[in-house]
Structure 1
Amino acid sequence: MSSANKNLSEFSTAGLPDVSQKRFAIIVAEWNTEVTEVLFEGAYKTLIENGVKAENIVRANVPGSYELSFGSQVFAQKADIDAVIAIGCVIQGETKHNDYINHAVAQGLTNVSLKYNKPVIFGVLTPNNQQQALDRAGGVHGNKGDEAAITAIKMLAF
């Protein structure tokens, strides 16, 4: 279901695992910071609201979304990190750069998740324009950061 038909901040919390002792890394792309900061805030808030202790949330910044795969791998390989959330935003723009970056990031995060056998969550917006990004970063369609955090928690119960 597309976010045009679903609010990203509305999800079921039934059956969530106890995450009070779990550690999360949130890797945040600095490119499109006005969007990624709101996504980070949503992810952080959702983790806290669902029982994660603030001291069990580690944040690291990378220059852009392309670097999310490497940043996520650095934390996924750590034994004391249970899940990684990658936060980014690649806006379509006038060239096809987004196709290459989004594909590379999706594949890279999948590879990291499989290599380290832990959840590595794709919290990357891939909108056509700035307004669509803002709509999904706390706007009319909710916050993709909220969705990414709840996905990480749910995957720990898998």
Structure 2
Amino acid sequence: MATRLKNLSDFSDTAIPSAAPYRFGIVVSEWNSGITNALYGGAYQSLINHGTLPDNIFTYQVPGSFELTAGADLLLKNLKLDAVICLGCVIQGETKHFDFICQAVANGVSNVAIKYSKPVIFGVLTTDNQQQAEDRAGGIHGNKGDEAAVTAIKMASLAEILNN
């Protein structure tokens, strides 16, 4: 496994633009809340650390990961945002439910981004078990929420550059 010994949230070799001029939406799944709250903490703190004003971060919860797509769509329809971060966690179970949810959310996030021509970031953990989720929500592999926030900042900056 390529990520076994790697902290995926190490951005020491990457230039991250200032997030000060941007407005971000964060949609967080309530399902697996111990994990999604940790993802949210990472995303929120990363945005703040890179210059986003707290008043420019708009956070909303949805029941589960499946609803992240609709949540992102509603945010972009009703708020002036530069990017939306979708945070969720789907852990493999004994049925095919996992496969259907993961595919639907990934496709849905992409479709919302295309619909609005705005960055919509897939910060959804799709893990085999609870431990893998914990490892990626502030554990040995970093925090996927932090990664999602950095991605949102970079994509908002790219959109600004290309739209000017």
Matching residue's letter, 1:155: M
Separation in 2 of the partners of 1:58 and 1:2?
A: 34
Deviation digits for residues 40-59 of structure 1, max 9, x if unmatched? Answer: 00000000000100110010
TM, length-normalised to structure 1: 0.94
Confirm or deny: 8 A CA contact 1:16 1:157 kept in the other structure: no
Corresponding residue for 1:70?
70
User: Are 2:106 and 1:93 aligned?
Assistant: no
Greater mean deviation of Cα atoms: 125-134 or 9-18: 9-18
Matched ranges for 1:14-53 at <5 A: 14-53=14-53
SS of 1:22's equivalent?
Answer: coil
Show structure 2 runs of 5+ residues with no match: 159-164
Matching residue's letter, 2:96: K
TM, length-normalised to structure 2: 0.91
SS of 1:118's equivalent?
Answer: coil
Corresponding residue for 1:136?
136
Separation in 1 of the partners of 2:14 and 2:92?
A: 36
Deviation digits for residues 1-50 of structure 1, max 9, x if unmatched? Answer: 95435312211474433321211000000000000000000000000000
Matching residue's letter, 2:101: I
Greater mean deviation of Cα atoms: 8-17 or 133-142: 8-17
Confirm or deny: 8 A CA contact 2:48 2:54 kept in the other structure: yes
Confirm or deny: 8 A CA contact 2:22 2:156 kept in the other structure: no
Show structure 1 runs of 5+ residues with no match: none
Runs in 1 of length 4+ with deviation above 6 angstroms? none
User: Are 2:93 and 1:84 aligned?
Assistant: no
Corresponding residue for 2:157?
157
Separation in 2 of the partners of 1:13 and 1:50?
A: 15
Question: What value does the CA root-mean-square deviation take over the aligned residues?
Answer: 1.6
Separation in 1 of the partners of 2:87 and 2:68?
A: 8
Greater mean deviation of Cα atoms: 98-107 or 78-87: 78-87
Separation in 1 of the partners of 2:53 and 2:131?
A: 33
Q: Measured at CA, do residues 19 and 126 of structure 1 come closer, stay the same or move farther in structure 2, by a change above 3 Å? A: same
Count matched residues. Answer: 158
